[in-house]
Amino acid sequence: MKYNYLLIPMIFVSFFLSINCRYIQKRKITKSDSTFHQLEVGGIERSFIVHVGKGQIDKETTNTKPPLLIVLHGRLGSGLQVMEQSGFNVLADKESFIAVYPDGYSRSWADGRGKTPADRENVDDVRFLENMILYLEELYGIDKSNVFIVGHSNGGFMTQRIAAEKPHLFKAAVSIAAQLSKEVLKKWEPKSALSIAFMAGTEDPTVPYYGGYVRDGGEILSVEDSLERWKAWNGCTDSPTVIKKDERPDDTSLEIITYRACKNNTMIRLYKVIGGGHAWPGGIKLSIPKVFRGRLTQELDATNETWNFFKGL
């Protein structure tokens, strides 16, 4: 599937020039309909990979606007790494959505804790992601009412920051091995309800489940305090439903805790991996030493369950 950036309406080009965000280049990476793109945002060239699901390609003449899924890598990761390891492209082909995998600045995100290279350099990652969504709307005709975001670790903290700061951009967000930080709470509070899910291991050696300080810096809430904060913001009033699962011999078990009676038909959910560590549950073998990673779990497939959460809203 090929696009020519020269066909982008001039009004779009003028808009991006006016906010110092210009289209740089696009090139094919593989034969799987994934393309490499760059934007200039605040004087910095930012890159991302876009995968257009095969189902969407087949429907391109029907005027159907596709959903968009943004996937944020962890610290020292990349868009290509999380694209290849997460398996979201397979789901995009099956479910007919567009997946985008942006690259953080110096392999990091300015998630608000003030400790990453991107934070220390005052990189405006919120603006980057917002402008990237605008760009994808113009180029691919995405459905802006069905934009989702998921991130792991540093990417999960970035997900929490942009969800608190700009909740109107998304229909839902999922943070994996990350929760709300104290610095984000000091600066931002969402002005609208947003469906949120956390996937977290109780024995995460890098991002402590019960709160405290992250290995690379910054004080964070516990996962369950983060859940309570989003419940309050979303005005959830019900008692939770709890599903328990322990089917694999991997020394972990799973509790899925869900609140459904929330404002604007939003939902709050926690996937509590008891005994789990700092991992992408269900399969991704992250290049993290075991001392920082902890125990892997097979009780939960984070890729499939993330999309099921989004799709069920």
- pLDDT tens-digit readout, 66-85: 999 999 999 999 999 999 99
Confidence (pLDDT) at 290: 64
Whether residue 221 contacts residue 175, with contact meaning beta carbons closer than 8 Å, is answered with: no
Please determine, for residue 295, whether its predicted confidence score (pLDDT) is greater than 60.
yes
Higher pLDDT pick, 294 / 17: 294
The closest alpha carbon to 190, from 218, 165, 157, belongs to 165
Range of lowest pLDDT (18-27, 50-59, 97-106, 158-167): 18-27
pTM: 0.89
Per-residue confidence band for 293, with pLDDT thresholds at 50, 70 and 90: confident
**How does pLDDT run across 234-253, given as a tens digit for each residue?**
999 999 999 999 999 999 99
Give the other-Cβ count within 10 Å of 42's Cβ.
Answer: 15
Per-residue confidence band for 286, with pLDDT thresholds at 50, 70 and 90: low
Whether residue 271 contacts residue 202, with contact meaning beta carbons closer than 8 Å, is answered with: no
**How does pLDDT run across 70-126, given as a tens digit for each residue?**
999 999 999 999 999 999 999 999 999 999 999 999 999 999 999 999 999 999 999
Per-residue confidence band for 159, with pLDDT thresholds at 50, 70 and 90: very high
Confidence (pLDDT) at 119: 97
Separation between Cα atoms, residue 147 and residue 158, nearest integer Å: 16
Confidence (pLDDT) at 4: 39
Whether residue 302 contacts residue 155, with contact meaning beta carbons closer than 8 Å, is answered with: no
- DSSP code string of 32-81: SSEEEEEEEETTEEEEEEEEE-HHHHHTTTTTPPPPEEEEE--TT--HHH
Confidence (pLDDT) at 11: 33
